[in-house]
A and B are shown apart, each in its own frame.
Chain A
Amino acid sequence: MPPVAEQALAVRADFPIFARRFGERPLVYLDSGATSQKPQVVIDALSAHLSSHNANVHRGVYPLAQEADAAFEAARERIAAFTGGEARTTIFTKNATEAINLVARSWGAAQLGPGDAVLITQMEHHANLVPWQQVCRERGAELRYLEVDEHGELSLQALDSELARGDVRLVAFTHVSNVLGTINPVAEISARARAAGAITLIDGAQAVPQMPVDIARAGADFYVWTGHKALGPTGIGVLHGRRELLESMEPFLTGGDMIASVGLQETTWNELPFKFEAGTPPIAEAVALAAAVDYLGALGMERVRDHERALTEQMLARLGEVPGLRVVGPPAGRERGALASFTVEGMHPHDVAELLGREGVCVRAGHHCAQPLMRCLGVSATARASLGVYNDESDVEALIGALQSGRAVFGL
């Protein structure tokens, strides 16, 4: 692998938040897995839309409303194209969680029943777990889990055994684990599930911001992600769905904008994607998210991935030098996403995060919304450092330095 310097992107100056100081200290942001920072172009796009083009969409005939309409639907085109999707089957939600709930309700509650099974994995975020747990309980279906092995990976053999039981109707799994960093073989999983007659949903919340994603290659019936982890604003998530499925499904939420015609006792639904977008959609958020994917597209997602992969390798190597520190997830040398979750012997992850925070180093500590996975790993919590396009070697060195001072506070 080429040295880090040759892979490096140098884009930190594009992100105004890095001008902030905490006391004398710069911001060392290692929590992009929770939410990303925003480049100036995204902030400007949001501001420009609200300053100059704001009106509600799909209703007005006056020129300003036409501008808002055009901006919103152009944003949808660009956002859909970023992952190889089509505007018509790209639905805006509040976040990835709502996108999964949409599928669990509109598809799951209508299709599942006793004797059916939903298969998810032990590494799912609660967003891709609790909605299935709820719908399975309500419908009398069974929820089963694919195990995570000692490398933090899934076994395709285990998947085949589960599918061979013949009752799996849907397989839902994450593209990249938010705790382990594992990158799952999504195309393989989708193909096997499809061959067994199951439909598939991929949680791409961690994947889309850090690697090239082509939803056709991923092969799932549903692919969800969220704007705020991909340099965009909060309040907007994306659901890509297979057209025949979306057309066969009943709406998730009902109300304005999603209707074709409303009578006193019954209503007919608007066409896709509007059937699934009840009420005023996230208009300014879509415009800003389109600016974010344009920005990422201009950097090139291959380059983003190379930058973050090299920096992750370096971070793992440096963390390995800290006494008592154990990284969970795929071992060195295996492909993994741009994060490291770890424990430090003699220090609780909350205390690690507190002490790092005092040095301006932002990491997350806790169960990362993945309690079943934490139980598999035999830990109650980990600290997690996750990278974004704006991180560089200085952030890794600040992390290591702060870990060493933190250990000293604890007399380690």
Chain B
Amino acid sequence: MDDLYRDYILEHYKRPQNFGELDPHDLEALEHNPLCGDELGVHIRVEGDRIEDLRFHGHGCAISQAAASIASEELKGMALSDVGQLDADWMIDLLGIPVSATRRKCALLNLKVVRGAVTGDNAWPS
């Protein structure tokens, strides 16, 4: 089996979870991957101090789409204060595949977008 393009990665790529628009929503952000021009946006609905629901939209490679899809399930219900603490390792571990330096931004784009929407800090996760 392919190390990078594992079945579950391709499954998430072809049928991503929590993709589309979410209206009304409380928070949103849109980011580009400068490497390829891909874009990924997020709509977040907040209940109390937690993410009640979220949807990603945009387009990208298998790695960026699968990462967003996989992360979306973890992010639902998460406290907003915890979102700011999420780092690159959290995302890479969750993805469960060896991500090379050149594909790192593909994997991290969704976390950058979500953290930007929640905390206003749109730095690349480290």
Contact = CB atoms under 8 A, between A and B. Distances in A.
Interface string A335-360: 00000000000111111001100000
B94 interface: no
A343 to B, nearest CB: 12
Given A348-B62, A350-B61, A350-B106, A367 B2 contact: no
A380 B62 contact: no
Interface in B34-93: 35-39, 59-63, 65
A164 interface: no
Contacts of A351: 5, 61-63
B5 A410 contact: yes
Interface in A149-201: none
A381 B36 contact: yes
Contacts of B2: 409
Interface SS of A by simple majority: mixed
B38 A380 contact: yes
Contacts of A349: 36, 61
A165 B4 CA distance: 55
A257 B62 CA distance: 52
A263 interface: no
**Size bracket, chain A contacts:** 10 to 19
Given A354-B4, A409-B5, A348 B61 contact: yes
A365 B35 CA distance: 9
Given A348-B60, A350-B106, A367 B36 contact: yes
A367 B62 contact: no
A371 interface: yes
Given A348-B61, A354-B103, A409-B2, A367 B10 contact: no
B51 to A, nearest CB: 27
Contacts of A371: 37
B10 to A, nearest CB: 6
Nearest to B102: A354
A380 B10 contact: no
B37 A380 contact: yes
B36 A350 contact: yes
Nearest to A350: B61
Given A354-B103, A409-B5, A374 B61 contact: no
A365 B106 CA distance: 13
Contact of A380 (B14, B36, B65, B106): B36
Contacts of A410: 5, 10, 62
B92 to A, nearest CB: 17
Contacts of B61: 348-351
Contacts of A381: 36-38
Contact of B37 (A347, A354, A366): A366
A346 B15 CA distance: 12
B106 to A, nearest CB: 7
Interface string A357-386: 000000001110001001000001100000
A365 B10 contact: no
A372 to B, nearest CB: 11
A63 interface: no
Contacts of B62: 347-348, 351, 410
Given A354-B4, A409-B5, A410-B5, A374 B37 contact: yes
Contacts of A374: 37
Interface of B: 2, 4-5, 10, 14, 35-39, 59-63, 65, 103, 106
Given A348-B65, A350-B106, A380-B37, 17 more contacts: A348-B59, A348-B61, A350-B36, A350-B61, A350-B63, A350-B103, A351-B62, A355-B5, A365-B36, A366-B35, A380-B36, A380-B38, A380-B39, A380-B59, A381-B38, A410-B5, A410-B62
10 contacts: A348-B60, A348-B65, A351-B61, A351-B63, A354-B4, A366-B37, A367-B36, A380-B38, A380-B39, A380-B60
- Nearest 9 CB-CB pairings of A with B: A348-B61, A367-B37, A350-B61, A366-B36, A351-B62, A381-B36, A380-B37, A351-B61, A409-B5
